[in-house]
Amino acid sequence: MLTRCAENDIQTIAGLKRQDPGAMVDLYDRYGRIVYSVVYRIVRNSGEAEEIVQEIFLRVWTCAHLVEDSCRTLGPWLPGC
């Protein structure tokens, strides 16, 4: 049985592959804060962290077609995009 988060990620992955802007909003709502927190801990500069987070999510948008169909959650995939 899939967790609710995994079910949401599966739907988000499908939406991203269709280039659905709503899927991107959902992805950012669920992962934006944690991605920012990790990036900020590394760079220690809020402006630079914001730019990096923006770049990460832009890459997700442009690389979504590369997510394997077997992928059940996006969290681990985000840093590798």
Instruction: Pick the closest to residue 6 from 36, 35, 30 (CA basis).
Output: 30
Neighbours of 23 (CB within 10 A): 20
User: What rounded mean pLDDT belongs to the chain?
Assistant: 86
In this prediction, residues 75-80 reach a mean pLDDT of: 67
R_g of the chain, CA atoms, integer Å = 13
| Tokens of residue 14, six digits | 């499908």
Instruction: Pick the closest to residue 10 from 58, 61, 70, 78 (CA basis).
Output: 70
Q: Confidence band (pLDDT; 50, 70, 90) for 55?
A: very high
* Overall pTM > 0.85: no
